């Protein structure tokens, strides 16, 4: 269970998160939506302790991340897997080395067992036979799949996705959505997805939260969000710009 209480974060004079509070139950699949630059990725990084807030708390299974040092956070991060926006694969390593990285660092399994787990994770993301390739040889969609395989290979309890479909064509984006649903279903993990791809949000989320002006503006089921008559939500969901505002 993840609980966020009155989280505030600024970068210089700009306040990005201005009192964000919510709760995500174990096994739940939540999508956080919001406009580009509204602080979605910043919020996601707070959930795993990659960033620390000025005020407020992030609790993971009752443990307050704000009170932990980097070494104590490592223990909590064993519960997490994270897929980054650009996949963040280690470019000096092969796909197999990337996927098996966490298992090797744990040092509990033999090389044969690690190789088996790597194979299973790559099968799950439908990328068999790419073990010896370097990340630079892969397409954007393949990199995201490898990133996902790396995030789930050690069977975490919570998987965080930062813009999983951004920059991908609609077909590949759809396959990534299918993959996220499959991972969620098979591994019974808590899923938190940050996206502004509304099609993706509708398919993946059991619950959607919209971040607007540093706060959770609205929370609801996908149907509630898509039927909302609130002008801010409605404009975002339907991709309608406000002529009074400049968006570029």
Tokens found for residue 59:
């609790």
Q: CA separation (Å) from 87 to 46, 124, 136, 140, 217?
A: 18, 17, 12, 9, 28
Helix (H, G, I), strand (E, B) or coil at 6: strand
Of residues 81 and 222, the one with the C-beta less far from another protein: 81
Residue ranges of alpha helices (H) inside the chain are: 40-47, 70-77, 95-99, 101-106, 111-124, 140-152, 170-187, 198-204, 222-227, 231-238
**Residue 88 lies near another protein (rule: CB under 8 A):** yes
Among 81, 141, 164, 214, binds another protein (CB under 8 A): 81
Among 74, 132, 139, 170, binds another protein (CB under 8 A): 74
How far apart CA 37 and CA 72 sit, in angstroms, is: 30
Shortest Å distance, C-beta 156 to another protein: 9
Of residues 82 and 237, the one with the C-beta less far from another protein: 82
Shortest Å distance, C-beta 158 to another protein: 11
Tokens found for residue 89:
């694969």
Residue 157 C-alpha from the chain's centroid: 13
Shortest Å distance, C-beta 81 to another protein: 7
Among 58, 101, 149, 183, binds another protein (CB under 8 A): 101
Shortest Å distance, C-beta 159 to another protein: 11
Among 58, 82, 193, 208, binds another protein (CB under 8 A): 82
The answer to whether the beta carbons of residues 156 and 129 sit under 8 Å apart is no
Helix (H, G, I), strand (E, B) or coil at 150: helix
**Residue 142 lies near another protein (rule: CB under 8 A):** no
Shortest Å distance, C-beta 13 to another protein: 15
Site for another protein in 6-45 (CB under 8 A): 45
The answer to whether the beta carbons of residues 127 and 98 sit under 8 Å apart is no
**Residue 70 lies near another protein (rule: CB under 8 A):** yes
Of residues 88 and 232, the one with the C-beta less far from another protein: 88
**Residue 80 lies near another protein (rule: CB under 8 A):** yes
**Closest residue by Cα to residue 51 from 65, 38, 64, 37:** 65
**Residue 109 lies near another protein (rule: CB under 8 A):** no
Residues near another protein (CB under 8 A) are 45, 48, 50, 70-71, 73-75, 77-78, 80-82, 84-86, 88-91, 101-102, 105-107, 150-151
């Amino acid at each position: 269970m993840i609980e966020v209480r009155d989280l505030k974060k600024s970068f210089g004079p700009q306040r990005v998160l201005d009192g964000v509070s919510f709760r995500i139950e174990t096994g739940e699949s939540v999508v956080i939506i919001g406009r580009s630059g509204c602080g979605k990725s910043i919020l996601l990084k707070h959930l795993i302790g990659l960033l620390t807030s000025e005020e407020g708390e992030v609790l993971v299974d009752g443990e307050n991340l704000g009170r932990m040092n980097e070494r104590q956070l490592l223990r909590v991060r064993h519960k997490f897997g994270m897929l980054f926006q650009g996949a963040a694969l280690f470019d000096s390593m092969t796909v197999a080395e990337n996927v098996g990285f966490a298992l090797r660092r744990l040092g509990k399994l033999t090389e044969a067992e690690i190789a088996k787990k790597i194979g299973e994770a790559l099968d799950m993301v439908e990328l068999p036979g790419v073990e010896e390739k370097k990340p630079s040889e892969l397409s954007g969609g393949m990199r995201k799949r490898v990133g996902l395989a790396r995030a789930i290979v050690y069977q975490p309890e919570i998987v965080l996705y930062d813009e999983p479909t951004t920059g991908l064509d609609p077909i590949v984006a759809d396959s990534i959505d299918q993959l996220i649903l499959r991972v969620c279903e098979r591994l019974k993990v808590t899923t938190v997805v940050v996206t502004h791809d509304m099609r993706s949000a509708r398919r993946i989320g059991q619950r959607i939260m919209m971040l607007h002006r540093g706060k959770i503006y609205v929370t609801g089921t996908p149907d509630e969000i898509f039927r909302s008559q609130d002008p801010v939500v409605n404009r975002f969901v339907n991709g309608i710009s406000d002529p009074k505002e400049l968006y570029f």
